Amino acid sequence: MKIKKNANEECINAADTIEVFKPRKDKERLSDSDSDEAEAQTRRPGSSDPPSHSPSTITLLSYHEAPIHLRFNPYILSGYRGYLSTKMCIESIFWMTNETINIWSHIFGWMLFLALTMYDLFLLNLQASVFDKVTMFLQASVFDKFIVGLLLCCFQICMVTSTLYHVFSCKSERHFHNFLCFDLFGIALSLLAIYLTGVYYAFWCHKEWQYFYLATVFVIFIACMIMQIPRLNVDPNLKMIMFVCWAAYGVVPTVHWALIMGGWENPIVSMLLPRVVGMYGISGLAFLIYITRFPECFFKGKVDFIGSSHQWWHFFVVLALYHWHNTGIKYIEYRMNHGCTHDMRI
């Protein structure tokens, strides 16, 4: 009887095993591209993984419930998304989470720089032809217009890559790191554009120095991009230090330019140097807020949705880029009107 009982148990266990591994007729085989969506949909609350959202519910998570790769700010206690499919990541743009303002601030930033591109490159010329006005862009060469267009396109790319990172960072850890690389690329591209336009117009009449500084900027840009290669596994702090050093390097051509131009007595120096200092002031304040995580470090859990440091970082980034665009336009206008007549060499 004991042997027969064991045989029955084995039959039951075998039947259960067959049922578990029996393919379901109502689901097709998932392709490799769908594997992440399957991963997001199959994670269950109560398991070791953070919960995911079903298509019919919106559940925001606390800091300790959130995916581990999203827990990089211990002062933000709520408003986290769980693992989401691509479709739900896009839908989450319209949810109220701790990423909502991060997403929309740079969506509006992209719209701003797109509008400026259209205005700078098209509308000003149209007004000149209609009203028979000679504008700076009508006088400028094709390459000058290309420089302005390049600057604004790089700013737009920065806004787009940042938005994509904040939208899809919760899809999976792999997507988080991939889109973070795109985000850093956008930042590097905007820095490159700032340097290109600044050096191009600052050393307009000093070609040898123009070529020198453009070459050094490209070398630093390439070095920053190499550090983003995932398989090199470069420490994130080292990446940040590299970006800070690259931004600080701008002081060198700025001081050199002011000296070559004859100092404060040159009208172009007195007009533009305060604007360059203002650019560094805005960027420095943004970076200080970013690294200190102010104000949430003093108001833990109180600014999870509105007013956190990363949201302020986004605001000041857009402000700094817009400020630099306006500074470049003033420089172009001055060059179109005066050429190199006010240049002085030491």
Closest to 320 in 3D by CA, of 185, 167, 151: 151
Helix (H, G, I), strand (E, B), or coil: what is residue 186? helix
Confidence of residue 37 (pLDDT cuts 50, 70, 90): very low
pLDDT digits (tens, 9 = 90+) for 270-308: 999 999 999 999 999 999 999 999 999 999 999 999 999
Q: What is the pTM of this model?
A: 0.81
182 token code pair = 């795109």
Domain chopping of the chain, boundaries:
100-338
Report whether 323 belongs to an annotated binding site.
Answer: no
Report whether 64 belongs to an annotated binding site.
Answer: no
pLDDT top residue among 13 and 225: 225
CB 259 within 8 A of CB 346: yes
Dihedral class, residue 95 (left if φ above 0, else alpha if ψ from -120 to 50, else beta)? beta
Sign for the pseudo-dihedral over CA of 224, 236, 166, 42: positive
pLDDT surpasses 90 at 311: yes
Length of the chain: 346
Confidence of residue 19 (pLDDT cuts 50, 70, 90): very low
pLDDT surpasses 60 at 34: no
Four-way CATH pick for 100-338: 1.25.40, 1.10.3470, 1.10.287, 1.20.1070: 1.20.1070
Contacts of 152 (CB under 8 A, 6+ apart): 113, 114, 116, 117, 120, 325
Report whether 106 belongs to an annotated binding site.
Answer: no
CB 148 within 8 A of CB 121: yes
Side-chain-side CA neighbours of residue 271 (13 Å): 16
CB 66 within 8 A of CB 50: yes
Residue 3's pLDDT is 44
